[in-house]
Amino acid sequence: FDENLSSNKSRKTSAGATPQHVVAEHYNSIEDKGKQRRLESKIIFLRNFNNWVKSVLIGINTPERGVILDIGCGKGGDLLKWGKAKISKLVGLDIAEVSINDAKNRFGKIDQKFDAEFHVFDCFSKRISMIESIKNIKFDVVSMQFCIHYSFETEEKAKMALQNISSNLKKGGSFIGTVPDAYWIVKKLKSLGPDQLEFGNSIYSIRFEQKNDFPTFGHKYWFNLEDAINDCPEYLVHFPTFKRMASEYGLELKYLDRFHDMYDKMKEKRQHRDLLYKMGVIRHKKQPGVMSQDEWEAAGIYKVFEFTKVR
C-alpha cells in the first residue's frame, strides 16, 4: 500500500453528481430506525461495540464542561455519550440534511444538560468559520467518528478537513476519531484471486473497482454493512500520509490502535469493562446472546486515533 503513491484530482461520477453528493444522498436516504428496530438488528452487538469504543474514546479525551465540535455527527447517535462526559456545548455538523434534522429531533427528546446547535455543512469543501454562530469558538475536542475517510477523495478535501479541525481547536485540545484501517483492507484485497475485487462476510462487503493502482487520494471502494450502509463510496486513508499532513496543521498523533487491540487493552480497566456490560457488548448470564464471528471481523476493519494540537 505504501507503493505506487500518486495524487488524484476531483472527479465527477458518470451521473454528473460529485462523489460528495453521492455520500450525502446515501446518508440522507437512510431512515432513522428508532430504538426498537435498532435493538432487533442483525448487527446489534457490533453497533454496541462501536458505541463502546466511541464512549471510551470520548470519556478519556473530554474535559468536564468541554466545548465540542462533532464533524460528520450524523443522526446524533453520540449525544448521550457527550452528555455522560458532562460537556457544556456541542456543535454538530454534517453534509446530510436529513441526518441533521434527525440529530436536532433526538437532542430535543433527551434530557439535555448541555447546549447544542446543528448545521448542514460540507466540512471538506468550505471553512467552518463561515458559520456565523461558531466563528469565534475554540473547541476543547474535535470528534470525527467514521467520517474522515470521506475527505480522502482528494488531497484538497483532506487538507480542508484538517484546516477546519486544527484552526478551530484550542492548543492542547484533542482531535479524536475512528477510521477504516487501510492496511487491513488492502491486505484482504491482495489475498484475493487474480480476478476477484470483493470480500466480506454475512454482514459486510467491500468491493474495489481495480487493484493495480494505489493512489494516495481517491482510492475508492464500495462499502456495504447490513442494516447500516448500502453501497456507499468510501476512500482508503493512507495513515502515514494522514499523520504527516496532520502534523503540518499542528496536530501530533498520540494514540492509534485497531478496535480489536483497543478492546484487549481497555477491557482490563474496571470502568471500561463495566461499560461493556452496560452497553450490551457482553451480556450477563441471564440475557442470552453473544457477538457473532462475522460481527467481530467487521469490527476489525476500524482503527481509533487521538491527536493533540501542539501548535
- Contacting positions for ligand SAM (CB under 6 A): 20, 23-24, 27, 72-74, 77, 93-96, 99, 122-124, 145-147, 150
User: Least distance to ligand SAM from the beta carbon of 194, Å?
Assistant: 32
Which is nearer to ligand SAM, 77 or 280 (by Cβ)? 77
Q: By Cβ distance, which residue is nearest to ligand SAM? A: 74
Containing 156, the helix (H) or strand (E) segment is: helix 155-167
> Which one, 146 or 259, has the nearer CB to ligand SAM?
146
Q: How far is the CB of 54 from ligand SAM (least distance, A)?
A: 6
What minimum distance in Å lies between the beta carbon of 278 and ligand SAM? Answer: 19
We find the least distance from the C-beta atom of residue 268 to ligand SAM, in angstroms, to be 25
Pick the closer one to ligand SAM by CB: 74 or 173: 74
Kindly tell me which of 147 and 237 has the beta carbon lying closer to ligand SAM: 147
Instruction: Please identify, using beta-carbon distances, which residue of 97 and 248 lies nearer to ligand SAM.
Output: 97
Cα-Cα-Cα-Cα dihedral of 68, 70, 71, 75, to 10°?
A: -160
**Which stretch of DSSP H or E encloses residue 155?**
helix 155-167
Q: Cα dist. 4→7, 211, 212, 217 in Å?
A: 10, 12, 9, 12
Going along the chain, which residue ranges are E strands? 67-71, 89-94, 115-120, 139-145, 169-180, 198-200, 204-208, 220-225, 229-235, 251-258, 302-309
Which CB sits closer to ligand SAM, 95 or 134? Answer: 95
Q: How far is the CB of 227 from ligand SAM (least distance, A)?
A: 13
Q: Residue 140: phi, psi to the nearest 5? A: -80, -35
Check if the beta carbon of residue 173 is closer than 8 Å to that of residue 141: yes
Q: Determine the angle formed by the axes of helices 270-278 and 44-61, rounding to 10 degrees.
A: 140
User: In the chain, count of helices (H) and strands (E)?
Assistant: 11, 11
Cell numbers at residue 194, please? 487474480
Q: Which is nearer to ligand SAM, 117 or 252 (CB)?
A: 117
Nearest approach, Cβ of residue 212 and ligand SAM (Å): 27
What is the distance between the alpha carbons of residues 35 and 56, in angstroms, rounded to a whole number? 21
User: Per this entry, what is the length of the chain?
Assistant: 311
Minimum CB distance to ligand SAM, residue 129 (Å): 15
Q: Which is nearer to ligand SAM, 73 or 282 (CB)?
A: 73
As measured in angstroms, the least distance from the Cβ of 229 to ligand SAM is 7
Q: Which is nearer to ligand SAM, 124 or 208 (CB)?
A: 124
Q: How far is CA 236 from the centre of its chain?
A: 13
- Reading the block at residue 223, the C-alpha cell is 462499502
Strand order in the sheet with 67-71: 115-120, 89-94, 67-71, 139-145, 169-180, 302-309, 251-258
Provide the minimum distance between the beta carbon of 124 and ligand SAM in the complex, in angstroms, as a whole number: 4
